[in-house]
Structure 1
């Protein structure tokens, strides 16, 4: 991670080309199916009930048929994976979980990959998600084990690893990454990637998020992440996890098409696609279409 940047990107690009078609950039659409009121205290998250000054409208779990209509629209816009996020600390058995299972099965019936992020799971819940056809479960580590306590106090690092192990045991792919720009140092970023690279097998996808400072959260006044920090993170992730999908995630809208192209050169091969990313703005589909056309990236359109 401390290599001269051009050397780091060059090595990452060679590894990327050895394992992936560099023109293949997966587009994943992300929808908040239940918004706000989360009992977790994650310092970066506007959906936490602990951050009372955040302006956010709470919404109950969406109707499955409405979710599926939005998934169909996302597919028509070019998305290949549909991701659904609920602001829960943990999954509870009952009608709401049954509705999520219906959403998963419906997304798969559309011919799309299905991913959910629902908080902590128990083993039988992971198995039910697998039986519904879930492709991947998103459960980010967020940061290094050493810095984690500075960001989250309501859930331990071990809790996160435990849920990931239940998903792996159920045969569900892992979508697991983190956030940069929260006040961590370079060693913390390397430590988080080391944890991910020590998974056997590696996570199938690793989202790299650049903090979006949200007014009312404890991290509201953090400086935004620069392109060279993001580029270094992407390149290191590619080198340490050669076959993984490395996804440009939150904060992507702050970077120009040329800056994002550098990240694709360094090994990123997936993006969150659509105008909104859970509750934060994302790069618009129109500008993304122009960017992919300029890059000659493969599309499903």
Structure 2
């Protein structure tokens, strides 16, 4: 099925055109977290703010987002009901987890990917020297219905003017906002509820859930490296599959698949051609290729070239994007 140039461009979110939100979450005023930027690229994500711009509202069974942070800025401890996968596009990042963030930590460099185990509190911070960016994949069409915050995060936020309602929306008391009538504050997790969030040892997390960029480069010399999914390098089958492609592992001929395919460029520039047009994808660009579209990929320049390819699976939550 041919697709026009204009239609395909609507399926591409360019890195330089990303629109940030600095009030996306409850820690937006908390010192140390108040300079982060959040982006929703495909799907509504889990933002708690009406100010969040959504680039592509339809979902292929998962959501794509990103977080940009200056040095020493952190994202507070939280959990999700579905999968959360990050890869580092720019910078150097420390990921930490546990009830108080001290159960374990791992440092990720550019290109590294982390399939964070579902059901643990996690946070992350930019420990590099420049503005950093991490790209995120969240399971499900509705990304699990929101964020579960560690109790201290909600309490700290209240001290700085932000209150999260039980409806999942933020209210800024510094702007004179108050909870609407009939809406109560989001309740803190009880000690009994907190027992459901394990203090996962660092060795288990790094061994089973982290893949390093240069290992993936080696593994994908002749064929795409299966990173997440059936018989893949990392544990869990979260409702989507992730593959890593390099210059030597791209299909030699044009191909099509019967699933949604999202291309997220890590390094280099890639020529994407299809019946109806062609374009070039640059680092940080995200492209949603529709099912059944015959297309081809090739690096458009010499040098290092790599990208992540995400596809929905049979257990994806609905795939509302049917086109």
**Could you tell me the TM-score, scaled by structure 1's length?**
0.31
Larger strand proportion of the pair: 2
Task: Decide which structure has the larger Cα Rg and report it.
Answer: 2
**Could you tell me the TM-score, scaled by structure 2's length?**
0.29
Larger helix proportion of the pair: 1
